[in-house]
Amino acid sequence: MICEQIDPGQWRLSFNQPEAEFLINVLARLGRHYQEDVSRMPPALRAYWEGAISRGGGTGKTDLTESQEVLAEARAELRGERLALVENWLREYELSEEREPWRVEITTAERDEFVAMLNDRRMLIAAELGVTEQDMEADLSRMTNEARRAGILEIDVLGHFILVMLGPQIYRP
């Protein structure tokens, strides 16, 4: 995958065929996930979309029910927005005549949204599998649980895509 800035605020992403197919597969899964009813999701995934707005660590005793509802509504809307975005990416791929490499031109805002969406997939896999710090540092070749190994590999590959799009971000004096 290559990410080039072609103009201020404008980016070109290029994917070779395996990368494009991987990405399309990820997006298709995400699309299906965004359409699922949150109340029917496993608890870990439900927690990702609903989650507690507070851990109750502060001193206040304010009732946060309303804030929790506001967040839940906003999260529901977000899934709808991301579904529309996924559909656009899939349509873009469907319509493309040239797929080796597959090129897409997007704005910075679109890139940021795309990155957040790919990160959704990473977080959802992690929530579903209960991925820990040890898992992320483990030697995948020695991991015997195939589903876990595949999940962590996908998290890693998507992480690589994200880093390619963002470039280095950490301040190093």
Partner 1 sequence: MDQVESVRDIHGNRNKVLRLRSGPVATGKENLSPRCAQDDGILNGDASGHSSAAKPGTETSPDVDVEEKLKEAFARGWSIIVWNDPVNLMDYVVFVFKTVLKMNEQDASRHMWEVHQKGKSVVGRETREKSELIVHRLRSFGLNATMEQA
Could you say whether residue 143 binds partner 1 (CB under 8 A)? no
In the complex, least distance from residue 37 CB atom to partner 1, rounded to whole angstroms: 19
- CA neighbor of 155 nearest in space, from 167, 144, 163: 163
Place of tokens 């190994």: 149
Contact set for partner 1, span 43-102 (CB under 8 A)? 51-62, 67, 70-71, 74-75, 77-78, 81, 84-85, 88-89, 91-92, 95-98
Tell me how far, at minimum, the Cβ of 142 lies from partner 1, in Å.
18
- What are 104's two structure tokens? 């897409």
Q: Give min distance, CB of 121 to partner 1, in A.
A: 9
Least distance to partner 1, CB of residue 40, Å: 21
Nearer to partner 1, 32 or 166 (CB): 166
Per DSSP, the three-state class of 36 is coil
Token representation of residue 82: 């991301």
Closest CA to 94 of 31, 37, 34, 151: 31
CA dihedral 16, 18, 21, 26 (to 10 degrees): -110
Q: What are phi and psi of 101, to 5 degrees?
A: -85, 160
Residues 110-139 that bind partner 1 (CB under 8 A): 110, 112-113, 115-116, 119-120, 122-123, 126, 131-133, 135-136
| Residue 159 Cβ vs partner 1, minimum distance, rounded to whole Å | 5
Cα–Cα distance for residue pair 50/44, rounded to 1 Å = 10
Task: Please report the beta strands in 8-162, taking only residues with DSSP state E, as ranges in sequence order.
Answer: 10-15, 102-107
Beta bridge partners, 7, equal 10
Residues found near partner 1 in the complex (CB under 8 A): 51-62, 67, 70-71, 74-75, 77-78, 81, 84-85, 88-89, 91-92, 95-98, 103-107, 109-110, 112-113, 115-116, 119-120, 122-123, 126, 131-133, 135-136, 155, 159, 162-163, 166, 168-173
